[in-house]
Amino acid sequence: MSLVTVDTTGPSLAEGYRELAGSESMQMLEALVRRLEGRRLVMVNSTSSGGGVAEILHRLVRLLNELGLPTQWEVMRGDARFYRITKAIHNALHGAPAVLDAEDWEHFHEMNRAAARELALDGDLVMIHDPQPVALAGLRRRPGQTWVWRCHIDLSVAREDCWHMLAPHVAHYDAAVFSHREFVPKLDVKAYLAPPSIDPLSDKNRSLEPEEERALIDPLDLPARKPLIVQVSRFDRLKDPVGVIQAFALARRREDAHLVLAGGSADDDPEGAMVLEEARERAQGRSDVSLLALPPDAHRTINALQRRATIVVQKSLREGFALTVSEALWKERAVIAGAVGGIPLQVIHDRTGVLVRSIEGCAHQMVRLLRSPDLRRRLGRNGEAHVRDLFLLPREARDYLAVFARAAMG
């Protein structure tokens, strides 16, 4: 069966979000569910586990069902060759040279035709996630249905030859939704923006008991009494880990603290390994800098690190959206971040955090925040309120339903 069974055990998600996000923020979502009464929603993607999209869908499908909108989730199947092709498409959409020939594209379409035969796709509202099942609208759309394409991928540097093959399929949809304005390509259908969101009930963001937090932090061997400055990011030059170490070294001339750079292990990422090595060289001889290579499922450790931090840094030089900023703000941390990509949407300078453009600026803000607990508290409180308003999962659900309401009912 291609139908995904969503885990519905444990406390109600709707109640959990109502408690955390406030009942007011759920009102419009519930009103939209009433407006769409009598309709059924079907979500479609290419995997039920692994990856951010599957993670979001497990929550969204359950939440919408709890609120009274019957919602199902179908997964299209593919063979090994299909997944190799879609991986190449994914890379090409991120700017890597495409190595797809006509036969590959024919196989891509054949798999979509097979999925069109196999899947029920019998909702009044259908949301297709990402490029793998994009051709389904042209193959299976029937009168009265409303189809929306949800692209979670950054298309800002997409290879023209690859996008050229996918774009005609998008023309069969009523609307498309993208995460960030830079990701929106030229399209003949209405394109909306729905910023990504964080799940306040997930392991990465839920509240931690002090004992649990201690148990997660203790094995990292960090100084217990020093203020921690933390950047959680993969080791990538655009996240500027070396710049963070340089800024920290300047700040340390004035204030005592400990820097933690936490990222992936970079085992399967040659460039990541190189950047990690550069960071190690820059931190050599410093006992006040820790470089942590964490496994991909270390969500609770990241949660604990962010909560334990006095300051969270995201000194990116280029960014997509940078949800790590919202994660830190949700935990009421004082954030110093680069003024690029989606960061200024999350960090309003001197209200929800501080924006920096240079190593010296970053060092100055580190000293300023280390010296001012009142300022840190104010920024943290405001940051949490800002994320509660704009970047929690119920808002993303609300945006999707609003797109359907607009497309289906005008």
Q: Residue 260, exposed/middle/buried by CB under 10 A (0-12, 13-18, 19+)?
A: buried
Q: Give the nearer residue to other proteins in terms of CB position, either 36 or 128.
A: 36
Residues near other proteins, by CB under 8 A: 24-25, 27-28, 31-32, 34-35, 181-182, 184, 190-194, 317-319, 338-341, 344, 347-352, 355, 357, 378, 381-382, 385-386, 388-390, 398-399, 401-403, 405-406
Calculate the dihedral angle through the C-alpha atoms of 159, 189, 116, 68, rounding to the nearest 10 degrees.
120
- In sequence order, which ranges of 124-192 are alpha helices (DSSP H)? 136-140, 160-170
Alpha carbon separation from 337 to 66, 198, 291, 333 (Å, rounded): 37, 18, 19, 12
Instruction: Report the nearest approach of other proteins to the CB of residue 247 (Å).
Output: 15
Q: Give the nearer residue to other proteins in terms of CB position, either 124 or 384.
A: 384
Residue 162 makes CB contacts below 8 A (sequence gap 6+) with 89, 92, 93, 98, 100
Instruction: Report the nearest approach of other proteins to the CB of residue 53 (Å).
Output: 20
Are residues 196 and 321 in contact, defined by beta-carbon separation less than 8 angstroms? yes
Q: Give the nearer residue to other proteins in terms of CB position, either 74 or 399.
A: 399
Q: Give the nearer residue to other proteins in terms of CB position, either 35 or 81.
A: 35
Alpha carbon separation from 153 to 67, 76, 130, 149, 195 (Å, rounded): 28, 18, 7, 12, 12
Q: The tokens of 57 are what?
A: 């869908």
Greatest alpha-carbon span in the chain? 68
Local structure of residue 392 (DSSP, 8 states): B
d(C-alpha 281, C-alpha 239), whole Å? 17
Phi-psi domain of 252 (left: phi exceeds 0; alpha: psi -120 through 50; beta: other): alpha
Q: Give the nearer residue to other proteins in terms of CB position, either 186 or 225.
A: 186
Q: Give the nearer residue to other proteins in terms of CB position, either 68 or 97.
A: 68
Q: Give the nearer residue to other proteins in terms of CB position, either 289 or 354.
A: 354
Instruction: Report the nearest approach of other proteins to the CB of residue 330 (Å).
Output: 13
Q: How many CB atoms lie within 10 A of CB 407?
A: 18
Q: The tokens of 116 are what?
A: 């069109």
Are residues 125 and 41 in contact, defined by beta-carbon separation less than 8 angstroms? yes
Instruction: Report the nearest approach of other proteins to the CB of residue 351 (Å).
Output: 5
Q: Give the nearer residue to other proteins in terms of CB position, either 65 or 382.
A: 382
Instruction: Report the nearest approach of other proteins to the CB of residue 286 (Å).
Output: 28
Instruction: Report the nearest approach of other proteins to the CB of residue 170 (Å).
Output: 15
Is residue 387 classed as helix, strand or coil in its secondary structure? helix
Instruction: Report the nearest approach of other proteins to the CB of residue 62 (Å).
Output: 21
Instruction: Report the nearest approach of other proteins to the CB of residue 389 (Å).
Output: 5
Instruction: Report the nearest approach of other proteins to the CB of residue 133 (Å).
Output: 23
Rounded to the nearest angstrom, the gap between the alpha carbon of residue 244 and the centroid of all alpha carbons in its chain is 22
Q: Give the nearer residue to other proteins in terms of CB position, either 94 or 280.
A: 94
Q: Give the nearer residue to other proteins in terms of CB position, either 308 or 398.
A: 398
Instruction: Report the nearest approach of other proteins to the CB of residue 359 (Å).
Output: 13
Residue 357 makes CB contacts below 8 A (sequence gap 6+) with 338, 339
